[in-house]
Amino acid sequence: MSDLQTQQQQPRVLIGVSGGIAAYKVCEVVSQLFKTGVEVQVILTRSAQEFITPLTFATLSRHQAYTDELFWQPIHSRPLHIHLGENADLLVIAPMTANTLAKLAWGMADNLLTNTVLASTCPVLLAPAMNTDMWEQVTVQRNWQQLLTDQRYHGLNTASGLLACDRVGAGRMAEPPEILAYIQSLLHTRGRRDLAGKQVLISTGGTREYLDPVRFIGNPSTGKMGLALAQAALHRGANVTLVHGPASWNPPLGVHAIPVISAAQMQQVMVDYFPKADVIVMSAAVADVKPKDYSPEKLPKRSLPQSLPLEPVADIVAHLAQLKQPHQRLIGFAAQTGDIVKPAWEKLQNKKLDVIVANPIDQPDSGFGSNNNQAIFLDAQGRRREIPLGSKLQMAHYLYDFIR
């Protein structure tokens, strides 16, 4: 993760793999971490080796993969589990089985992985995976909730779907992109939950203003910036509501996602959820105008108007600013070309925002559709911070740092 290297040189991630078929997904996690500049090492439990070999992870990570057979092999005259635990910036356990979960919940250490966890102080990210009946057992859920009371541990929710046992239900391990996003967040925050207990309300994506059932006025926004904002807030402990226009991605597990289409629909949902929100981020690319007349049936080509009468769409940000209470923080986005600061500053003042993100959409590999972004943050007190080109998730964290 090249943008993370500004914080520390080559972050060190230690991944523990326990015995489950989802172990194959961890190959992508290890491979992607290495490609983005992370030093990654892997520990396999004895049962994990029934599904995947140490050689596979050694090849992907460019480091020796560690197993219980190496437990008593010292490194630099120090016990292996002490060396590994003390040198990790982050520990990830994926997949985490019911057996490993029980050991961690009760502080047991009978193999290299669990000993390394107890010998470390860094944050630990847990990605459970198991059969639905196993996951829903009272004892398993009790262990899960007990473990998460420890501030070191961060849990990825399981997904529902077709499992390897042919059961359809909960217990499916989070997919590699979701694991990688959480890893990036924890390397940035070092496990800090500074949004715990906060309600974060985010709008994202483009709206569509229809002329007839198949034609609309829209824009190229994909909603990826709002998706990153939701992930970052969730990873920092917030309760997140994400109001999004049409999107090709799935919302993160644990986020309350509400799909909308038009600006009017988005405004209604935002107003409904606004009173309980502590932080409101309007990253959506909301339409400025809409066709004055709507046809419920598709218009024949010959019937399309030569000129299209338009009318303005309600200004959602300005409306929310009128409802804002002193404890709430309202953040807006200004997608601009050319000089991005002056129009953003004017928007900040005119709409009485607390913070605005001036976003250059005419720069390479940033703005609409890109996985990366760059911006200048401005606040009502005159503070300014320039954010260089990096991932949208990293920019989301910088924004929460800025308003913290």
Q: Annotated catalytic residue: which of 58, 109, 119, 165?
A: 165
Fold classified for 199-403: Rossmann fold (3.40.50)
Angle CA 273–264–231, to nearest 5: 45
| Cα distance between residue 207 and residue 4, in whole Å | 33
Q: Check residue 171 and give left, alpha or beta (phi > 0: left; psi -120 to 50: alpha).
A: left
Has 27 been annotated as catalytic? no
The two tokens of residue 235 are 């990873």
Rounded average pLDDT over 331-337? 92
The pLDDT tens digits of the residues spanning 228-263 come to 999 999 999 999 999 999 999 999 989 999 999 999
Backbone angles phi, psi at 11, to 5 degrees: -55, 150
337 contacts 364 by C-beta, under 8 angstroms: no
The pLDDT tens digits of the residues spanning 136-175 come to 999 999 999 999 999 999 999 998 888 888 888 888 999 9
In the chain, where does the domain assigned CATH 3.40.50.10300 lie?
199-403
Q: Could you tell me the pLDDT band of residue 297, with boundaries at 50, 70 and 90? A: very high
Question: Residue 366's closest CA among 354, 374, 358, 376?
Answer: 374
Task: Find where tokens 């010292």 sit.
Answer: 74
The pLDDT tens digits of the residues spanning 359-380 come to 998 888 887 888 999 999 999 9
Q: Of all helices (H) and strands (E), which one includes residue 147?
A: helix 138-148
The pLDDT tens digits of the residues spanning 87-103 come to 999 999 999 999 999 99
The two tokens of residue 108 are 């047991």
CATH architecture of 2-189: 3-Layer(aba) Sandwich (3.40)
| Cα distance between residue 389 and residue 366, in whole Å | 7
Q: Is the pLDDT of residue 216 over 50?
A: yes
In the chain, where does the domain assigned CATH 3.40.50.1950 lie?
2-189
330 contacts 317 by C-beta, under 8 angstroms: yes
DSSP label at residue 65: P
Q: Check residue 205 and give left, alpha or beta (phi > 0: left; psi -120 to 50: alpha).
A: left
